[in-house]
C-alpha cells in the first residue's frame, strides 16, 4: 500500500513542480480503493474458482509438434474471453496445421529440429517475432530493425540447437513490444532433448497433464472486462502493473490434481511485475525443487522454498504433491518482498532536478490496485484425484559445463537513470549504433552493475545463453537466498538469457560468443521490463566475424 502511494505522491510532486494539479495525491480515494476487496482480487483465496487453461492439442495455447512443414503465423487482433467469459480485445498468433487451428500455439520441437514459419502481419501497426532464448542467426531473431509493416510478411527458417528447455516467443516490434505483448502476442517454445525425455520417463510426466507450462501475467481490465493498456508517463518510467493476475490467461485459477509429482514450467510473461514464487498450504511454506532455468535443466534438483522470477525469466520446478491428502489445498503464491522501487523514484526525482518542461510524471490516475511486492495468490491446487505409485526424484538431471573464462575479455555494463531515461552504459537504443561490439568465438566476462538509486532490471541478451559467475552487493533479500557460492541464487545455477539485477548489485556473467552463422550478427541486449525496453533501455550487440 504505502509504497505505491509513495510513488504516486512523488510523481505527483514532480508534476506539481511542473505546474500540474495534485489529483489523487494525499487524498484517500486511491488508498480506499486499494483496501476494498474487488472482483478477481488475487489476494483473496476464495476468488480462485476458475479452472486453469491447460494446453491441449489445439485451440488457445495448443501444443503444436513442429515438423519440417512450414507454418503460417497470422498476427492479428481478435477477442478472447478472459474475465468472467466476457470477450476482451486480444492480439494473437493464429495458425492451422494438420487440420487443427491454434491461437498462440505452444511450439514443441526436438533439439536439432528445423523450424520454418512465415509471419503475416495482420495488425494495423508494425510487428516482428522474437524467439526468446534461441541461439539462431540475427536475421531470424526478430531484431526490432526487422519489424514489418501491416500486410507484410517475414520468413523464418532455422535449426534449433538449444538445450532442451522452456523458451518462448513474443513480439519485438520497435517501441511497440510492451503494448503488443501485453495485448497477447506471446507463447511458449519448448525444446526437448534426451535429458528431458529421461526425466519425463523417470517421473511419468506428460506435457499438458503433469508437465504444465504456466505463463504468469498481471493485467488491468475496464468495467466491461476488456484489457486496458494505458501507461501514463510515470508507468512508462517504472513499468506497467496490473491488478488481476492471470496464469495461462486464467484469472484466479485452480487445478484439480492427484497427489503426485508435477513439473511446472513457470514463465514470467508480465510487462514489469516480479514474482517471488512459493507453494503454501495454509501458513506452511512447502519445499519444491528447481530443476531448470532459462536455458534448460540444471545438473540436479535444488530444493528451495522461494525463488524470484523476473519478466522474461523461466523457472522449471518440480512440485511433489504425493504427501498431500485428498481435499488438501495448496496455493502457488507470490510472497511479499521489497521491490526497491523507491530508489528508482529517487533516481527519477534526482535526475529531473534542473530539468525544465517535464510535466509527465503524474501517474496518480493509472495506478494498480495490487501493490508491487505484495503477497498474493497465483494458482490454487486442490487434491481431488487418486494417487499413482510414487516415483523417486532422479539424483541427476543433466550436465552444466562451466564456460572456460581463461583469457576472457572483461566488459563492464552500467545500468542507471540519466536525463529521465534508463540507460545502458549511458546509451539509449539507436538502430545504427553498436555499443556492444564483440568478437565471434571469444569469451567475455561481463560485470553488470545496477546503480544504487535505481530499481530491479531484468537484463536480457539475445542470441546467446550465459552463465552467472557471482553476485556482489546484493540486497538482504537476495543475500538470504544466496546459498550457492559467490552470492548466487538458485536461478543462477543454470544457463540463462535473462538475469535480474537489483539496485546496487553487481552480477558477473560469462558468455561464449561462438556461433556457426555466416557474417556479422547483430542482436540486442536490453531490459525485459517491457516499458523500459520500449523506452529504449536497449543496445545493439554485434558479434563480428
Interface residues with ligand C2O (CB under 6 A)? Answer: 130, 132, 170, 172, 312, 460, 462, 524, 526, 528
Secondary structure percentages of the chain, helix, strand, coil, to 5: 15, 40, 45
Q: How far is the CB of 506 from ligand C2O (least distance, A)?
A: 23
Residue number with the smallest Cβ distance to ligand C2O: 132
Q: Which does 170 bind (CB under 5 to 8 A by kind): Cu ion, ligand C2O, none?
A: ligand C2O
Q: How far is the CB of 543 from ligand C2O (least distance, A)?
A: 16
Write the DSSP string, 137-158.
-GGGTT-GGG-B-TT-EEEEEE
- Closest CB to ligand C2O among 88 and 271? 271
338: helix, strand or coil: coil
- Closest CB to Cu ion among 363 and 457? 457
Q: How far is the CB of 498 from ligand C2O (least distance, A)?
A: 7
Among 68-76, 121-129, 280-288, 522-530, which window interacts with Cu ion (CB under 5 A)? 522-530
Q: Which does 529 bind (CB under 5 to 8 A by kind): Cu ion, ligand C2O, none?
A: Cu ion
- Closest CB to Cu ion among 379 and 501? 501
Q: Which does 527 bind (CB under 5 to 8 A by kind): ligand C2O, Cu ion, none?
A: Cu ion
When asked if residue 177 is in the footprint of Cu ion (CB under 5 A), the reply is no
Q: What is the spatial distance between Cα 505 and Cα 501, in angstroms, rounded to a whole number?
A: 6
The 3-state secondary structure of 458-521 reads: EEEECCCCEEEEEEECCCHHHHCCCCCCCCCCHHHCCEECEEEECCCCEEEEEEECCCCCCCCE
Region 268-327 residues binding Cu ion, contact defined as CB under 5 A: none
- Closest CB to ligand C2O among 142 and 366? 142
Region 400-459 residues binding Cu ion, contact defined as CB under 5 A: 457
Rg, Å, the chain Cα set = 22
Say how many Å lie between the first and final Cα of the chain, rounded.
52
Tracing cell 568465438 back to the chain, one arrives at 441
* 76, 132, 273, 369: residue in contact with Cu ion (rule CB under 5 A): 132
Q: How far is the CB of 478 from Cu ion (least distance, A)?
A: 17
- What contacts 461, CB < 8 A, 6 or more positions away? 497, 498, 511, 523, 525, 541
- Closest CB to Cu ion among 190 and 321? 190
- Closest CB to ligand C2O among 4 and 460? 460
Q: How far is the CB of 66 from Cu ion (least distance, A)?
A: 19
Q: What CA–CA distances, in Å, run from 33 to 21, 192, 368, 372, 496?
A: 21, 46, 10, 15, 39
Q: What is the spatial distance between Cα 290 and Cα 537, in angstroms, rounded to a whole number?
A: 30
203: helix, strand or coil: helix
Q: How far is the CB of 527 from Cu ion (least distance, A)?
A: 3
Q: How far is the CB of 203 from Cu ion (least distance, A)?
A: 29
The closest of 310, 248, 230 to 277, measured between CA atoms, is: 310
When asked if residue 527 is in the footprint of Cu ion (CB under 5 A), the reply is yes
Per CB under 5 A, residues contacting Cu ion are: 132, 457, 462, 527, 529, 532
Amino acid at each position: 500500500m504505502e509504497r505505491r502511494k509513495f510513488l504516486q505522491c512523488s510523481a505527483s510532486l514532480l508534476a506539481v513542480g511542473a505546474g500540474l494539479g495534485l489529483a489523487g495525491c494525499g487524498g484517500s480515494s486511491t488508498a480506499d480503493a486499494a483496501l476494498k476487496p474487488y472482483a478477481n482480487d488475487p489476494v483473496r483465496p476464495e476468488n480462485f474458482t476458475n479452472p486453469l487453461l491447460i494446453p491441449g492439442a489445439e485451440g488457445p495455447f495448443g501444443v503444436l509438434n513442429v515438423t519440417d512443414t512450414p507454418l503460417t503465423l497470422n498476427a492479428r487482433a481478435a477477442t478472447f474471453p478472459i474475465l468472467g467469459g466476457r470477450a476482451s480485445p486480444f492480439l494473437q498468433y493464429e495458425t492451422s496445421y494438420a487440420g487443427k487451428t491454434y491461437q498462440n500455439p505452444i511450439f514443441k520441437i526436438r533439439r536439432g529440429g528445423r523450424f520454418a514459419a512465415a509471419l503475416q502481419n495482420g495488425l494495423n501497426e508494425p510487428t516482428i517475432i522474437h524467439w526468446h532464448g534461441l541461439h539462431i542467426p540475427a536475421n531470424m531473431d526478430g531484431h526490432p530493425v526487422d519489424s514489418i509493416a501491416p500486410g507484410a510478411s517475414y520468413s523464418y527458417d532455422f535449426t534449433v540447437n538449444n538445450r532442451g528447455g522452456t523458451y518462448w516467443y513474443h513480439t519485438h516490434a520497435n517501441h511497440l513490444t510492451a503494448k503488443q505483448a501485453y495485448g497477447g502476442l506471446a507463447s511458449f517454445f519448448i525444446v526437448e532433448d534426451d535429458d528431458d525425455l529421461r526425466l519425463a520417463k523417470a517421473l511419468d510426466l506428460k506435457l499438458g497433464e503433469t508437465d504444465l507450462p504456466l505463463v504468469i501475467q498481471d493485467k488491468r481490465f475496464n468495467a466491461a472486462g476488456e484489457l486496458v493498456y494505458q501507461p501514463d508517463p510515470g508507468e512508462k518510467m517504472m513499468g506497467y502493473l496490473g491488478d488481476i493476475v492471470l496464469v495461462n490467461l486464467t484469472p484466479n485459477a485452480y487445478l484439480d490434481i492427484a497427489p503426485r509429482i508435477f513439473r511446472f514450467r513457470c514463465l514470467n510473461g508480465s510487462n514489469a511485475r516480479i514474482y517471488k514464487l512459493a507453494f503454501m498450504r495454509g501458513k506452511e511454506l512447502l519445499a519444491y525443487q528447481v530443476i531448470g532455468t532459462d536455458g534448460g535443466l540444471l545438473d540436479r534438483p535444488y530444493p528451495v522454498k522461494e525463488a524470484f522470477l523476473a519478466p522474461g525469466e523461466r523457472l522449471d520446478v518440480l512440485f511433489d504433491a504425493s504427501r498431500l491428502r485428498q481435499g488438501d489445498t495448496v496455493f502457488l503464491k507470490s510472497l511479499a518482498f521489497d521491490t526497491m522501487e523507491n530508489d528508482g523514484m529517487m533516481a527519477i526525482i534526482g535526475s529531473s532536478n534542473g530539468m525544465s518542461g517535464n510535466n509527465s510524471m503524474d501517474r496518480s490516475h493509472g495506478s494498480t490496485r495490487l501493490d508491487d511486492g505484495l503477497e498474493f495468490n497465483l494458482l490454487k491446487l486442490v487434491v481431488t484425484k487418486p494417487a499413482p505409485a510414487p516415483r523417486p526424484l532422479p539424483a541427476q538431471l543433466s550436465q552444466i559445463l562451466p564456460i572456460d573464462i581463461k583469457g576472457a575479455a572483461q566488459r563492464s555494463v552500467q545500468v542507471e537513470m540519466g536525463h529521465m531515461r534508463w540507460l545502458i552504459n549511458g546509451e539509449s537504443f539507436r538502430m545504427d549504433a553498436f555499443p556492444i561490439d564483440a568478437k565471434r568465438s571469444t569469451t567475455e566476462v561481463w560485470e553488470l552493475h545496477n546503480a544504487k538509486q535505481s530499481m530491479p532490471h531484468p537484463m536480457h541478451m539475445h542470441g546467446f545463453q550465459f552463465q552467472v559467475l557471482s553476485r556482489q552487493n546484493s540486497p538482504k533479500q537476495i543475500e538470504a537466498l544466496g546459498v550457492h557460492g559467490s552470492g548466487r541464487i538458485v536461478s543462477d545455477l543454470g544457463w540463462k538469457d535473462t538475469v535480474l539485477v537489483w539496485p546496487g548489485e553487481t552480477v558477473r556473467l560469462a558468455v561464449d560468443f561462438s556461433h556457426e552463422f555466416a557474417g556479422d550478427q547483430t542482436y540486442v541486449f536490453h531490459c525485459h521490463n517491457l516499458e523500459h525496453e520500449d523506452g529504449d533501455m536497449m543496445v545493439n550487440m554485434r558479434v563480428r566475424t
